[in-house]
Structure formats: C-alpha cells, structure tokens
Structure 1
Amino acid sequence: MKFVIIKHIFRLIVVYTTIIMFSIACNTTNSDRNYNVKYPVVLAKFHENVINYYLNSEIDDRATNILIENLQEDGSWSTIDYSNKVRGGWPVKNHLLHVQNLAIHYKNKTSRFYKDKDVLHKIHRALNYWLNNDFLSTNWHDQHIGVPELLLPTLFLMENELSKQQLDKAIVLLNRAKIKMSGQNKVWLSTNVMLRSLLLRKQDSVSIASKAIQDELKIANGVGVKPDWSYHEHGAQLQFGNYGLSYLEDMIKCYTFVNNTPFQFEDSKIEFLRDYVLKGQQWVIWNNTYDVNASGRQLFLNEQEKKAARLKRCLEQMKLLDTAHAKAYEDVLNTKTLSGNKHFWKSDFHVHRRQDFYFSVKMSSKRVIGTESVNQENIQGYYMGDGVALLSTHNEAYRNVFPFWDWKKLPGTTIIQDTLALPIIKFSGFKTNGTFVGGVSNGKNGIAVMDYNRDGLAAKKSWFMFNDKVICLGSGITTNSDFPVTTTLNQSFLKGSVLVSENNSVTRTSRVGVSQEIDWVLHDHIGYLFPNKGQVKLSTQILEGSWNNVAKRYRPVILTENIFKLGLAHGKQPKNEKYEYILVPNASKDTMIHLNKNKPFKIVNTQKIQSVESIDGTWAGIAFFKEGVSKVYGGITVNKPCVLMLEHKENALVLSVSDPSHSLNKIKVNLKGYYIFEGSTYSNGQTQLTIHLPQGEQAGKTVFYHLSK
C-alpha cells in the first residue's frame, strides 16, 4: 500500500512538472527575459530563416550611434517631423526603420551594440512611442503594407524582450494587412500576413499566405509579369523599376524565408524568377544605372543609381538561390555585358544596347499607359510615354537632370509648345490614341514605330536601331494648333564644348537660333547627323530648376545647371512636316565628317512608308503604316500595315515581322527574287509568303522567317 501511494505521488510530480514545462514552452508573453522563444516544430525552420535574414543585414555601428544620439526621452527622433502627411515616401515611417536598425544591432554579435542594455532600453522607448501613437498617413499603402512590413522584423528580433501589452498593440497594427488585390500589392500584403501568422504560430494561415505569394509567380493576365517579361502595375503600364523591382526583391526574400520548410516554393518558381531577371530586368540596367524610361513615376534624386544597386543586390541573392546559373547572374552584375536588342511588345518599350552605349524608347498607345502621376510624384510627366528616346554613353547623361528639363521638350518626342501648365493626372489619361504602336526585333537590331495621335497632333514616328546607330524618322506631322511644334533630339547636362557643322564648316558654338544648313552636331561624344538637314535649334544655357517641380516631397529649393538642348522646329500649324536624324553614340569629329560625306543609309520617309537600308545592302527595315510597295531590295509588297526587318546572310534572307496593331491574323508579303520556304510560291520574279502572326497575349511579338535563296 505504501509503495502504491509513493508511486502515485511520483506520477503526480511528473505530470505537474510536465504541465509546468509545457506552460513555459508555450508562453508567448515572454515575461522571463532570459528565456528563448519557442516555435512549433513545423514553424521552427521558418522562424530561424526569418531571424537569420534580418541578422544578415549590413552592420553600420556609426550610423546606429547617430540614431541613438538623436533619440529623445519620449521615444521620438528629433530628425523626424511626425506631423508630415505627404502621400509618397511618408517620412514618418523612418521611425520604424530606425527601431528595426537598433534591434538588428542589438541582436547581431558583430555589432558593438550587441546585448547593450542601454540600447535595449531605447528600443523599448522608441517602439512604445509608435505603438502608443499609431501614426497614420493619408495613403492606404502605409497602413496596410508599409507599417507592418517595417514593424515585423523588430517584433521577431525582440520577441523575447517584449511584453504582452507591446505585442497586443503591435498585432492591432499588423491585422490591417489582408490578402487581397493582385500583382506586387498582393505580394506585399500576403508577405505581411504570412509573417504575422508565423508570429502568432498559425500554421494554416502561413500556408495560405505562402501560396498566395507563389500564385503571383506566373505570367499574369492583368497586372504582374507579362509574356515579354516586362512588369505591369496600375493597368497596362510598364513598372519595371517601381512595382516590378519590389516584386523581385520580395519574391527573393519570401523564397529565402520559407526555403527548406513545409511552405517552400515549388521548384518551377525559381526558374520563373530567373527568366524574369535574365529576360526582363537585366535589359534595363546599364553601367550601374537603371533606365529612366523603365523607372515608372519614381524620378527621384539619385534614384537611377539606387535602383541599379537594388537590382544588383537581387542578383547576388539569386546567385546563392539558383547556384546552377550563378555565371549568368555574374554576367548581369557586369552591367555592360549584355549586348543586343529587345522589343517588349506588351509594354510599347524598346531597348537597344551595346557595351559602350544604351538606348531606349518608351511609347504608349490605346493599349498601353505611358506613365502615371501618383502621390504627387512625376507631376510634370504628361509626355513621358510619348516616344521618349534616351541615349547614354556614360552614366551621367540623365543623372538628376529632371529639375532642369523642359517637360515639353523631352528627348525623342514631338510636342506642341503651348503655354498651358501640364495636366496632373493619375494614369488613365497617359495614353495616346495610336493603335499602330510597337516594334520588331531579331535580338541584335530592331525597329520601334509609333503612329502618334494625341491632343490634336498627329505624327508617324520610327526609330531604326542598327548596330551602333539609331536612325530617327518622323513624317505627317500635322496640327491646327497656333503654337509651334518641336521634335526634341536631346536635353541633358552640358558636358564640354559643342561642335556644329554648317555647310561642311565646323565651329564650336553654344547656340543656334534656327538653321536649315546644319550638317551635324557633336556633344558629349554623341553625334546628331542630319541627312537632309532641317530646322535645327540648339541652346546651352544656365537654367534654374527645383526638385519640388518633379515631386512634392522635395522642398522648393532653386538649383542651377548648364543644360544642352537640341531640337527641330516644325513651326505653327504644320501640315505633313517631317524630320530625319541619326544618333551616333561614341562619335568624334572625324566620325561625323566621314558620315556626312559618306551617307551610311538610304532613307525613305513618307506618311505611308518609312524605310532605312544600309548602303552595303546587308540590312534593311521598313515601317508600312499602310499596305503598299517599298523599293527596298528591288521591291517588297505587303497587304497590311506592319513592320519588317531584313538581313542578308550567305545564301539566305532573314525576315523579321511584327504587327504593331496587335489585331492581324496574317500578312501577305511579296519579295523580289526567288526564295525557298515551306508554303511559299514563286511567280513573275517574286516570292509570295503568308506570314502567320501570334495571337492573344503573344500579339505584337516578332516572328522570324529564314528564307533560302
């Protein structure tokens, strides 16, 4: 009997001890400051990945020391205006970024602030200041996305040191994020939900959020990654450098979070990210600079360098996640490696690049939105999708030039020079009325075309990109406006002297009023050749500008810079006016003299047909704005508007074709001469082909035909 009683007492002790231990293990209030938090086995690796991700952040003790010095007794920072309600780049969020910084340094063994009790006290003080005030901006994005995103790392890193009251207040803020919307907005929201669910140990919610994130790793019907590997957000609008870059960053982050966990991404998802990098994003970074044309509305101070640095960080991470393709990412990190031509047919966007220059043209149409002005950003950008053509031979050409731009004289555009203020609209009005807008590309060379029609001005515009030159044509320039019309070739910082050849006489000058005798202009190693001259106007002036005119987040401080402007004047109420000029990157005086004397191309420039053929006959391109006949290569006939590019190879003709209208099923093409191709016919000295065009989401994409002689 005595033995039985002792045995029973022993069992009670074991059970009681087990209950106590279980209670301690499940305690999420963390009242015991020396206790390490516990997560269920199924979530443990996920939690470990999250902690390691943030602890691997770059350590900067000097910057952190400044944060500590500027923290006030009430937990606020003296450097932050907490009454600020600006919609874009809400600076009050920096408070949470500062708290996160302190938490990372407090938890990182390599920091001199590791386990510093004074820093711990300051973290609590600063965190409580936010939790007690719950600062709100006027932008939904901050409450649902930005604040939870910045708060969560601190909660994970400091979870062991937080009180139940702090966690309860924080959860109220985190609960504002819900899985909804699409594209990058959905990724942001779902990531917040996934991490909140991890913090609350809710396995099912983690699984749902992880799946919601992975569901966006696909070719999207609406916003998201498109079949040409461009990225759309806010409708059919190119957003490579805005939402599209955040999309890449967050997908890599989430992939890292859930790697080797029950919630990890499917194997095919890393392949999708690889394609998005190599077939999309890498095309718009050159010489450690992110293309202005691909940046969306974010034309901020030093933004092109910052975006390039962000993309390069993504590339470094992809090398670790996708080790079998590390060499490909390494090549992209050398941002001049890629050489070629690509037309993004879903975005009316074209890139032509070599190791020593970068050129892009951004267009818009009835299908594609050119740009947007949101959160008082890009407030002068009304014409940013109207054929803006930017050529760079170094990374300083357009770096921070935006305060000094005349926004009615954007490079590449043809615009009415009225005196009205530019409209500030969101994005629906940033379309043109053109339907024949697109391009053709064979991977090496290409053609972009734009049947421009906006605000009473019509023009046929094209850019023929062949090797190291870009031939720019315009015809049918017509408007009833009483204001003059200008085609702008460039508007950039003045770098050194300007050489001008007028009737074969070369001089240095800073200004040309309007001259019809200009042969060429050379500035900053870029040549502008005028095969048939034109009403050329040049100015180099010290201009005033302010970042406040670009985005209202900046103070209205007046700056001055020397600006180079070069354009072609078409006069008032032009009727069927035209222009022709050739961009020559990395040119010299001798180069321009030679090209002027030995014209490199045969050019036809009418309202129906614009064509360029190399003098040696190896390459030609034709923009058929209407069905008709071109004299190129002895005669080419098409029965529908289209764009053709032809290259003579040994015993073959390579034909590249696209339909900029995205509306045709097929095109019939007749070529002078006898060529062999399946389905072709030959009669009366001509080869007849029926070109079958891509449909649906592939409409507008280039098709290729290799014709044997």
Structure 2
Amino acid sequence: MLSVYSPFYPLQTPSRAVATSVMSPYRSEQVSTSIASSSTAFPKTKSYSAQQDIDIIYERRLNSIVGALPDPAGSISAWLSSLGPDGKWPDSEVDYTTGCAARRANWPAQEHWQRILVMAAAWHGGLSGANQYVKDTTIRAAISRAMDYWFSRDFTNLACLASGGTVSCPCTNLDNSLWLQIILIPDLVGQSCVLLNGTLTPAEVVSCASTLVRSYDTFDTNIPGVGFLTGANTLDVASIGIDFSLLTVNLTVLTDAYRRVHLELAVENSVKADGIRPDGAFGQHGGILYNGNYGKDYINDILGFEIEAGGTQFAANATTLLDGDRWMIYGNSLKGTLHWDFSVLGRFISFPVIDAQATGSLNLNLTQVLELGQTWSSDSLVTFAGSLSQTVTNANAGSLKGNRMFFTNDYMVHRGPNYVTTVKMYSSRTQNTECTNSQNPFGFHLSDGTVYTYLRGDEYEDIAAAWDWNLIPGTTVDYGATILSCDHTQFTGIENFVGGVSDGERGIAVMRYTNPVTKSLKWQKVWFFLDDDVQHVMIANITSTTSAPVYSVLDQRLHTTSVVQEELVVDGTRSQTLWHGRMGYILPQTDFVNITIEAGQKTGNWSTIGTSTQPAANVDLFAAWINHSSLSTPIAYTIYPDTDVATFSKKSKKLRLRTVQNDAHVSAIYDEVHKLCMIIFWDVDGGSTTITPPSQRSITISTNGNSALIYKFDSGELVISDPSQTLSYIEVIISSQQIKKTASIAMPQGGLAGSSITQIV
C-alpha cells in the first residue's frame, strides 16, 4: 500500500493538521490521508533533483490542464448566477440523478465537476477569454461552495466504486459504473484541486485526496465484474495518481504512477490482450479493436505524461509509438475534419458527430504529438503529426498509400490516392464488438467482414440511427435470422482461419465464418486489393439452415448521386455494372445473382441505439446487396473505388483479372497486367491450383498448409501468411513442365503470428 501522507503542495500549508483515513474496499491496509504543518514543502528524504522534477512536472501539469479545456468562458457568468447558496446548480441545468436510476454512460451529474474545472482554470489563469476571473475572490468562493456540495454528499460505502446495484451497494447509493467513480469523477476532481492548490481549505484537501487515493488504490486488485485495470484504464488511473502526488507532494506515488505508465508502453503479445499490439492495433475490453476510442485516450494520456515529464527522472526512454493509428484515420473533405474508421470505434458508433464522442473527430492534439516526437527524436511521431496537419482534401488524410494487415485484430486497411477502404473481421482469437451502457445494442454484425470505403469522408456520418443493422456494409448475412439486442451483441468468433497477407502495396483479407450464436450460417470470403485501385471479392461455400434470405451487402451509406446500372460484355462474358457515389461494381450476370437497390429517406432515433439525446436522424440512404438465390453457387465481383461514371465504364472494359478457382478449397485470381497471382488455400493440409497466363506455360502452386499468398511471376517474390496462426512452417512448391521450386518457410510465432513473410522463390 502506498502511503499518501505528505505536506501539501506548494509552500502554503494549513496552520493545523487535518487527518482522516480511507479504507480500501479491496485491501485490508488503511491508507492515511493527512495534511500537517510543515516548514518545508518536501520531506527531508527527497533529493534536490526530485524536488526540481516535481516542480517542473507540476508547472507543466497546470499548463496542460488549462490548455486541454474547451473555450466555454462565456458560460461562467451564467454559472455563477445560477449556482445556489448550497453549491448546487438547478436541476434544469444539471441532472443530479444518482444510483441505479442514473444514466450510466456519460453520467449527466459530471456536469457539476466539469463546471468546477472550467471555473478553477479561469481563477488560476490562462483560460482564453476569462482574464477577469483570475484570482477573483467571488469565483473562488463559488468554487468552494460547489465543491463542498459534492463532497458533503459523497458516497461513504466504498463498495460502490464498482459494485453498484448489488447487495454490497444498493441502488440508493451515489453509485454508477466503474468508469464514473474510479476514473471520470476523480479525474475531474484531481485537475480542479491541482489548479486550486495553495488556496484549498484543510477539509477540501482531505476530500480531494480521499477521492483520488480511493481511485488509485484500485491498482493490482481484482475489481468485481471487471478484473484488473488494463490498457487505457491503467493510464487514466495513473493520471489520477499523478495529480494526487502533485497535490500532496508524494514522490512514492509519483514514481509508482510513472512506472505503470511506462509498463503500458510495452507491446502486448497475448491473444485478446488490452493495450498496444505488435501490429499497431489497440485492444480494450478483452482485445476489442478500439484505436479510435480507448487507444485515442491512451495516446492523449501518453502525450500529457511524457511532455510533462520531459527532461526529468520520470521521462520514458526514447520509444517509438506504433504508427498503426495513421492507417485508421480518414478525412471529411467537406468539413476539413479528421475521424477514426468506424470499425475501430466499437460501441461508440452509436453517437452522432455533434455529441463530440469518438465519432466526433480525431480528438488528438497534433501539436503535442509533434512536440513529443521532437523530444523523443521519433521520426514516426513527427511524420504522424505533420502529415495529418495538412489540409483535408479527400478521405485519405495524410496521403498515406498502401495496404496494411492488422493480424492481431483481424483488420485490413487499404489506402488509395484519394480513398480509404477498411475490412473488419473476427475469429476465435478476437471479439466482434460490445454493447455496454445500452450503447450499440444492434451491433452484432459489425465485424462480419464489414467494409467501409471513404471518398469524401461523409459516406457513413450520422447514419447509424437510421440504417438497417442487418445490412452492414460488406457483410454476408442471413437477414434477420439473429436476434439483435444488447445481450446478443458481444461474441468471440468460432473459426481460426481469419486474417490476411500484405506486401505493403497489395493485400488479401480472408474470413471463414460461422455465426457464433445460431451456428446456422457459414461462408468463406476473400477481399483482394490489387494495383490500379481495383478490389475483388469472392464468396464461396455458403451454407444456411434457416429460411432467411442470404445477402451479401455491397454498401449502405449516404445517397449522394444518381444510380447507374448497365450490362457489360467483355470477351463474350456477360456482366452487369452498378455505379453510385464514385463507386463502381462489376457483377456476374446470371440467374443466381439478383441485385437489390434501395435509395431514399430513412428515419431512426439515436436513443434506440445508445444514450445520445439528439433528435431523430432523417437521412437519405443508398443500399445495394446481392441475393444469393443459390447458395451452392460461388460468386465473385469487382469494385472500382473513387471513379466517375465515364472512367468506370472505360476501366470495366479493360479489366484483365482472371478467376483461377473459387470454391471451398481454393480462392485464386491472376492479374494479367501485373503478372501476379493471389491465392487462398482453405484446407488445413493446404492444396494446389494451376494458373495459365496468356501465351505462357501453366504453373502449379501448392502448399502443405492453410495459407494466403501473393506471388509475382517476374521477380519470384512470394509473400505468405498463415491466417489460422497455428502453423510453425509452410512448404510452398512452384512447378511447371520445366522447373520446380520448393521453399520451406518458417511462420512467425507469438505476438507476430499471422503476419506476412516475404521470400524469393
């Protein structure tokens, strides 16, 4: 147990000792919290360098707190006017509902402390437009009234930290979720108290310290229903510990908090791990892909920690933050804003942009990213900040081109000159999504091979309340056969053969699927990302035991242009084409492929899918899907992103992409123009397929294990992976009438399992 006894910071100590004790709900030790008279701000055991370091971090922390606040200075006058003599704002302004009746997500009562924090920043100085409040006695007195109102009503049953609504913490207590009482409120309290340090009364210091230490004391404890703190939650609570240590000048807690921060900089290699993964993904809540929310919070925490600690004994070693995030960010060219791909937002897809949650914007301080990059001499951080600070002219923010497979979370990103396409899958190693606090109750299909393609960047903005949750873009679904509800949302996949292979420019995403709830639907699907902005999709081995129609969804997005359909004949093969919103599709023209298109107004309530209180969404949506009237018939289609009608028509007539095989055993294509093949061997013991390029002898490629590969005929370069992440090696044989080449390739293990290996054969 870390002692919290210490003189308070800075040199203005109370004239008498004030002491209380806080019993940890998880440990038997008692934590002493006391403020005692002292002639010095530091115990004699602290070295001069430690005193200097704490001073430096403290001053930087003050600037960091004020600098991170929004600019609501114009509201302060109204807040002062409406604050009651008891320190409470009217119920019409702040919803103080507590206990089980309170909204767990985005607890409305937090507004009380959010106002205190802004007022404390105004009193401290540095808040834009609030100079009149600097060291003003009226606002300082109002802050004390508001703090006292809260502290006098603070819960005393510490089981309510995380066991609200149970026998140990009945619904009548001031209780909400783990995040509220362990992270949200202590974070706001800590920042406010640090800003007011030196003017806090003894009682206020004790209340501040008690709130912070009961949060920090949850480290290394098994919290009921949650487990141990991990990932972004670790950093949030470490930040609370740092504020506590600065408030009380506790070197022990400060050192321990930074130790925990730096441990979180380590790459996590275990399956379903929370935190940074080897490929740049960020996991939370059992490894759900969450770069756009918890990962974003993680980065913001790290920025704050390391900028504040730069040049002190608490600074991290020069560590390069993984650059996975920049692949997941797209731009809205109409608004000039940056956003996270919806597939890395988890349940936060349930919020409209105006709510300023994870869907609202990037929510990263690029100036701080650049500052930390320069401090650490990190080229990747400097590049990250510089590229994303450019004017947004299309969805490909930062002008990053290429392909990247995030093998730890079954996620692929392909970025063209002016567009971004993402594919989100899940396997026996990962989870699909979650429904927490009533957010995202219909999100079961969000990782069923979901494909988003961003062009202008507004394609999917603010449509989730109104769209059809059984028609998630890119998925193959037995429509309506799975119950969509909060308790039927979060699942681990059944199949292990899910993943992909990438050479950095091209890639293949592959997914074998069995519905984990009903077990009634199964399929195999491949997404090929080729040169010249061509994408190709193969679907095979579909089985369904229900009477529900099976659809493969081309897209569901904003309806922005006319819809153009035509017939196409190339080399005697009849096809049909579809174009909408700068997306072109070439689809087979057979009796077994029926295309359905819907376009028009749709309405939905945000409150139905989450906790947003925004008005109903009325949006003009476009949706198109393939009806698999014959499940035994495999289907393949080609996509041209970011193309106008005329260009699409020309490209579709020049396509030289050949289907080699598309069945339950092998999915293979040959690109005649670039002389490369892309192959998936589905069977556990591998297989073989034969490719006959124009005017050349046939070549047979075989493997002894399930695998995904890209082979370039001119250079002999082979890029291969094991999506099942089970093989130690794969033997590849490339043969023709004249040659036979064999390669035995060791597959990556541990945290790198599923990643791609390149070899010349």
Equivalence for 1:489: 554
Q: 79, 82, 92: which one pairs with 2:96?
A: 82
Structure 1 residues 347 and 638: CA distance shift in structure 2, 3 A: same
Is the counterpart of residue 354 in structure 1 residue 366 in structure 2? no
Deviation at 1:54, TM superposition (A): 2.1
Equivalence for 1:165: 203
Is the counterpart of residue 690 in structure 1 residue 710 in structure 2? no
Answer yes or no: is the 8 Å Cα contact 1:336–1:355 preserved in 2.
no
Deviation at 1:328, TM superposition (A): 4.8
Is the counterpart of residue 121 in structure 1 residue 141 in structure 2? yes
Deviation at 1:49, TM superposition (A): 2.2
Distance in 2 (CA, whole Å) between partners of 1:628 and 1:57 is: 57
Answer yes or no: is the 8 Å Cα contact 1:240–1:296 preserved in 2.
no
Q: 60, 63, 76: which one pairs with 1:52?
A: 63
Distance in 1 (CA, whole Å) between partners of 2:678 and 2:246 is: 57
Q: 719, 727, 731: which one pairs with 1:656?
A: 719
Distance in 2 (CA, whole Å) between partners of 1:38 and 1:308 is: 44
Q: 114, 124, 127: which one pairs with 1:107?
A: 124
Structure 1 residues 157 and 30: CA distance shift in structure 2, 3 A: farther
Is the counterpart of residue 291 in structure 1 residue 341 in structure 2? yes
Q: 529, 535, 540: which one pairs with 2:586?
A: 529
Q: Which amino acid aligns with 2:97?
A: S
Q: Deviations over 1:159-189 (max 9, x none)?
A: 2222111222222222221223222222222
Equivalence for 2:641: 585
Distance in 1 (CA, whole Å) between partners of 2:458 and 2:603 is: 19
Distance in 2 (CA, whole Å) between partners of 1:502 and 1:29 is: 88
Answer yes or no: is the 8 Å Cα contact 2:575–2:588 preserved in 1.
no
Structure 1 residues 609 and 693: CA distance shift in structure 2, 3 A: same
Deviation at 1:425, TM superposition (A): 3.1
Structure 2: gaps (5+ residues): 1-7, 18-36, 43-47, 156-173, 221-228, 332-337, 391-396, 694-698
Is the counterpart of residue 563 in structure 1 residue 627 in structure 2? no
Deviation at 1:318, TM superposition (A): 3.2
Equivalence for 1:446: 507
Q: Which amino acid aligns with 2:753?
A: A
Q: Which amino acid aligns with 2:116?
A: V
Q: 258, 265, 285: which one pairs with 1:234?
A: 285
Matched position secondary structure for 1:227: coil
Deviation at 1:648, TM superposition (A): 4.3
Matched position secondary structure for 1:310: coil
Is the counterpart of residue 671 in structure 1 residue 734 in structure 2? yes
Structure 1 residues 318 and 499: CA distance shift in structure 2, 3 A: farther
Equivalence for 1:202: 250
Structure 1 residues 563 and 29: CA distance shift in structure 2, 3 A: farther
TM-score (norm: length of structure 2): 0.80
Equivalence for 1:543: 602
Is the counterpart of residue 61 in structure 1 residue 93 in structure 2? no
Deviation at 1:532, TM superposition (A): 4.8
Answer yes or no: is the 8 Å Cα contact 2:576–2:586 preserved in 1.
yes
- Mean Cα displacement is larger for which, 365-374 or 530-539? 530-539
Answer yes or no: is the 8 Å Cα contact 1:380–1:549 preserved in 2.
no
Matched position secondary structure for 1:382: helix
Distance in 2 (CA, whole Å) between partners of 1:419 and 1:698 is: 36
Matched position secondary structure for 1:250: helix
Deviation at 1:557, TM superposition (A): 4.5
Q: Deviations over 1:444-483 (max 9, x none)?
A: 1100000111131111101001131211110111111111
Answer yes or no: is the 8 Å Cα contact 1:37–1:159 preserved in 2.
no
Deviation at 1:638, TM superposition (A): 1.5
Structure 1 residues 73 and 520: CA distance shift in structure 2, 3 A: farther
Distance in 2 (CA, whole Å) between partners of 1:383 and 1:692 is: 34
Is the counterpart of residue 341 in structure 1 residue 406 in structure 2? no
Structure 1 residues 23 and 624: CA distance shift in structure 2, 3 A: closer
Structure 1 residues 62 and 317: CA distance shift in structure 2, 3 A: farther
- Mean Cα displacement is larger for which, 477-486 or 308-317? 308-317
Distance in 2 (CA, whole Å) between partners of 1:90 and 1:321 is: 37
Deviation at 1:636, TM superposition (A): 1.1
Q: 206, 212, 219: which one pairs with 1:174?
A: 212
Answer yes or no: is the 8 Å Cα contact 2:462–2:617 preserved in 1.
no
Answer yes or no: is the 8 Å Cα contact 1:389–1:411 preserved in 2.
yes
Answer yes or no: is the 8 Å Cα contact 2:347–2:440 preserved in 1.
yes
Q: 303, 314, 319: which one pairs with 1:252?
A: 303
Structure 1 residues 86 and 365: CA distance shift in structure 2, 3 A: same
Equivalence for 1:472: 537
Matched position secondary structure for 1:374: coil
Deviation at 1:73, TM superposition (A): 4.0
Distance in 2 (CA, whole Å) between partners of 1:24 and 1:330 is: 38
Matched position secondary structure for 1:55: helix
Q: Which amino acid aligns with 1:591?
A: T
Equivalence for 2:364: 310
Is the counterpart of residue 424 in structure 1 residue 410 in structure 2? no
Deviation at 1:23, TM superposition (A): 13
Matched position secondary structure for 2:184: helix
Equivalence for 1:387: 449
Structure 1 residues 194 and 23: CA distance shift in structure 2, 3 A: closer
Equivalence for 2:265: 217
Answer yes or no: is the 8 Å Cα contact 2:234–2:261 preserved in 1.
yes
Q: Which amino acid aligns with 1:396?
A: D
Structure 1 residues 458 and 310: CA distance shift in structure 2, 3 A: same
Equivalence for 2:497: 436
Distance in 1 (CA, whole Å) between partners of 2:286 and 2:373 is: 32
Identity %: 23
CA RMSD of aligned residues (A): 2.8
Is the counterpart of residue 185 in structure 1 residue 233 in structure 2? yes
- Mean Cα displacement is larger for which, 592-601 or 121-130? 592-601
Matched position secondary structure for 1:308: coil
Structure 1 residues 598 and 44: CA distance shift in structure 2, 3 A: closer
Equivalence for 1:5: none
Larger radius of gyration: 1
Q: Which amino acid aligns with 2:347?
A: R
Deviation at 1:594, TM superposition (A): 2.3
Deviation at 1:531, TM superposition (A): 4.3
Distance in 2 (CA, whole Å) between partners of 1:691 and 1:217 is: 31
Q: Deviations over 1:318-377 (max 9, x none)?
A: 345445633453124332321111001111010001230000000001111121111111
Matched position secondary structure for 1:160: coil
Answer yes or no: is the 8 Å Cα contact 2:410–2:498 preserved in 1.
yes
Matched position secondary structure for 1:44: helix
Deviation at 1:203, TM superposition (A): 1.4
- Mean Cα displacement is larger for which, 177-186 or 431-440? 177-186
Is the counterpart of residue 609 in structure 1 residue 666 in structure 2? yes
Q: 660, 668, 678: which one pairs with 1:621?
A: 678
Answer yes or no: is the 8 Å Cα contact 1:438–1:449 preserved in 2.
yes
Answer yes or no: is the 8 Å Cα contact 1:450–1:461 preserved in 2.
yes
